[in-house]
Amino acid sequence: MSQSADTRLPLRQVWPDAFVARYRAAGYWRGETFPGFLRDRARRFAGDVAVVGGEARWTYAQLWDRAERIAAGLLAHGLAPGDRVVVQLGNIPEFVAVVCGLFRAQLIPVYALPAHRLTEVAHFARRAEASAYVGAEKYEGFDYRTLARELQREVPAVRHVFVVGEAQEFVAVDALDGDRAALPDDPDPQSVAFLQISGGSTGLSKLIPRTHDDYIYSFRASNEICGIGRDSVYLVALPAAHNFPMSSPGFFGALYAGARVVLSPGPGPDAAFALIARERVTCVGLVPPLALLWADAAAKTAHDLSSLRVVQVGGAKLVPEAARRVIAGLGCTLQQVFGMAEGLVNYTRLDDPEDIVIHTQGRPISPDDEVLVVDDRGEPVPDGTTGHLLARGPYTIRAYHNDPAANARAFTDDGYYRTGDMVQRTAGGYLIVQGRATDHINRAGEKISAEEIEDHLLAHPQVFDAAVVSIPDEFLGERSCAFVIPGGARPRPAELKAWVRGRGLAAFKVPDQIVFVEAFGTTAVGKVSRRELRAQLRERFLAQEAS
């Protein structure tokens, strides 16, 4: 048994009884579990190819066999069901095998992105009370064994490290094996299956507990909306740990359908186009800047992309003109996806008229997704008016893990999640994203909290004050700009950027631009909120740029 098991915070995601009854009666929650459906597909589609990546080409039977081997090996090393395991792997087949193995052993994956560094990974490990970490030997030139060593120094509760590739002093994932008779029965479908990382709000990333029932519903229903069946081939081009390529419909949707999952080592056309041609890929999810890059590259490529049926774009706003370019460039069906790791996902439907596909971010998956658009006082606004988006439903969480302060802010008394997004609803129930109420930067789909980066800048001895804002960017959609009041000698911008990176953060969080100012302006004295201050700085900067 894991020693800490008794003292850790329980993993919970609870809907009120009446909602549980309703979601079951409607057939959304069917009592399926990850190990349950994976075992079933391994039996039914044993010889079909499930996962392709690098040199690997695993059938459903082989994937399940690997998962069981990994599961038994992890338990043999002393992990116990309920233990949380930070998983930081790139788009390699082992990502899928490890996560399926964790599910099989009732261990709880905590998904870190490959871009995350020590500060972030340590935060996830602490918050989740993790006892293990799984990383790769190397991915995109970075050695995760070094990170693992630092992590263990900083968070000693992380007692186990498992490595894909050359493990050095750690345990190799490839060497994992154990007594399969020791594997547990399948879990309670309403129990938490994993912890996802929040993208869409302020401060440090929060942990999102998703249950078997709710998550499986979300990708099973997505399969139907996105046309995923057994003959589909789904390409994971974005980081596999992100909710979009994981479940909208993502690789889990594809595995649920008995389809083929192909992992692209990078999101760019160079890596992806060859795979599309070779594997006859039918569906892929992209963020807007990538979709534009792909649309341009498609005109020039020698690769045959004719198998592509659906290109999904989400994670950040796809403006109408960009949507037109994507449709023209890729010559297949565009599907807009507006989702969040906390739950709610909206899709334009494959048979929607082009006008809707170009101008909206879709409508919710479920008839039981309750979507409210409200003003600052919480009163519903009419269709066509911009307001705050609140959501509640069969796959939207009711609480974050281990974060009462965030829960008090992020959820209403009657259980709606405050998404932080500003939207308009059309008469047909489609949503158009207009912006957001929270101060984060959506940098090509990667979310950066202004507050988090300001904290790191303020720790620099030559920074008196700092405000981080989003600036519209032609390519990224938004880029980050830090306004800095120097304290003493003005540091060089490159120095400040290196400082932020040196604080153990993902590279995408390093400010794209640094602007030194003497003061934050005459109106920005005293009681002005950080939020107003950021807005003022942004406006002044944009006005100056325009003049």
Q: Which span sits near ligand OOB by CB under 6 A: 79-87, 125-133, 338-346, 528-536?
A: 338-346
Q: Work out how close the CB of 177 gets to ligand OOB at its nearest, in angstroms, rounded to a whole number.
A: 35
Please enumerate in sequence order all residues whose Cβ is within 8 A of that of 246, keeping only pairs 6 or more positions apart, or say none.
111, 240, 252
User: Considering only residues 486-545, where is the footprint of ligand OOB by CB under 6 A?
Assistant: none
CA distance 419 to 13: 18
* Cβ distance to ligand OOB smaller for residue 152 or 396: 396
Please enumerate in sequence order all residues whose Cβ is within 8 A of that of 385, keeping only pairs 6 or more positions apart, or say none.
373, 424
Q: Which span sits near ligand OOB by CB under 6 A: 11-19, 270-278, 325-333, 334-342?
A: 334-342
Residue of the chain from 314, 343, 364, 504 that contacts ligand OOB (CB under 6 A) = 314
* Cβ distance to ligand OOB smaller for residue 50 or 341: 341
* Cβ distance to ligand OOB smaller for residue 101 or 343: 343
First to last CA, the chain: 66
Residue of the chain from 52, 311, 337, 471 that contacts ligand OOB (CB under 6 A) = 337
* Helix (H) or strand (E) segment spanning residue 435: strand 431-436
Our finding on whether 316 is near ligand OOB (CB under 6 A) is yes
Our finding on whether 35 is near ligand OOB (CB under 6 A) is no
DSSP 3-state assignment of 524? coil
Our finding on whether 241 is near ligand OOB (CB under 6 A) is no
Structure tokens at 200: 């869409």
Our finding on whether 419 is near ligand OOB (CB under 6 A) is yes
Q: Work out how close the CB of 516 gets to ligand OOB at its nearest, in angstroms, rounded to a whole number.
A: 30
Our finding on whether 369 is near ligand OOB (CB under 6 A) is no
How deeply is 492 buried, as exposed, middle or buried, from its count of CB atoms within 10 A (0-12, 13-18, 19+)? exposed
Locate all alpha helices (DSSP H) within 77-184, ordered by sequence. Answer: 93-104, 118-128, 144-154
Using CB under 6 A as the binding criterion, the count of chain residues that bind ligand OOB stands at: 25
CB hemisphere CA count around 419 (13 angstroms): 29
CA distance 300 to 354: 25
* Cβ distance to ligand OOB smaller for residue 339 or 491: 339
Our finding on whether 248 is near ligand OOB (CB under 6 A) is yes
Q: Cβ distance 514 to 482 under 8 Å?
A: yes
Backbone angles phi, psi at 129, to 5 degrees: 55, 50
CB hemisphere CA count around 226 (13 angstroms): 40
Our finding on whether 145 is near ligand OOB (CB under 6 A) is no
Q: Cβ distance 273 to 303 under 8 Å?
A: yes
Our finding on whether 269 is near ligand OOB (CB under 6 A) is no
User: Considering only residues 422-441, where is the footprint of ligand OOB by CB under 6 A?
Assistant: 433, 436
Residue of the chain from 62, 211, 361, 449 that contacts ligand OOB (CB under 6 A) = 361
Our finding on whether 387 is near ligand OOB (CB under 6 A) is no
Q: 469, 42, 523, 447: which is closest to 204 by C-alpha?
A: 447
CA distance 165 to 179: 23
Mask 447-466, x = binds ligand OOB (CB under 6 A)? x-------------------
Between β-strands 363-364 and 343-347, what pairing exists: parallel, antiparallel or unpaired? antiparallel
Our finding on whether 121 is near ligand OOB (CB under 6 A) is no
Residue of the chain from 326, 330, 341, 457 that contacts ligand OOB (CB under 6 A) = 341
Chain centre distance of CA 50: 22
* Cβ distance to ligand OOB smaller for residue 148 or 241: 241
Q: Work out how close the CB of 362 gets to ligand OOB at its nearest, in angstroms, rounded to a whole number.
A: 8
Our finding on whether 347 is near ligand OOB (CB under 6 A) is no
Residue of the chain from 283, 345, 397, 533 that contacts ligand OOB (CB under 6 A) = 345
Q: Work out how close the CB of 524 gets to ligand OOB at its nearest, in angstroms, rounded to a whole number.
A: 26
Backbone angles phi, psi at 511, to 5 degrees: -55, 135
CA distance 426 to 342: 23
Q: Work out how close the CB of 235 gets to ligand OOB at its nearest, in angstroms, rounded to a whole number.
A: 15
Please enumerate in sequence order all residues whose Cβ is within 8 A of that of 360, keeping only pairs 6 or more positions apart, or say none.
336, 348, 426, 430, 431, 432
* Cβ distance to ligand OOB smaller for residue 85 or 322: 322
Our finding on whether 243 is near ligand OOB (CB under 6 A) is yes
Q: Cβ distance 344 to 371 under 8 Å?
A: yes
At position 78, the amino acid (one-letter code) is: G
Q: Work out how close the CB of 347 gets to ligand OOB at its nearest, in angstroms, rounded to a whole number.
A: 9
Q: Cβ distance 261 to 94 under 8 Å?
A: no
* Cβ distance to ligand OOB smaller for residue 148 or 235: 235
How deeply is 539 buried, as exposed, middle or buried, from its count of CB atoms within 10 A (0-12, 13-18, 19+)? exposed
* Cβ distance to ligand OOB smaller for residue 245 or 511: 245
Q: Which span sits near ligand OOB by CB under 6 A: 37-45, 167-175, 243-251, 524-532?
A: 243-251
Q: Would you tell me which residues interact with ligand OOB (CB under 6 A)? A: 199-200, 243-244, 248, 314-317, 336-341, 345, 361, 419-421, 433, 436, 442, 445, 447
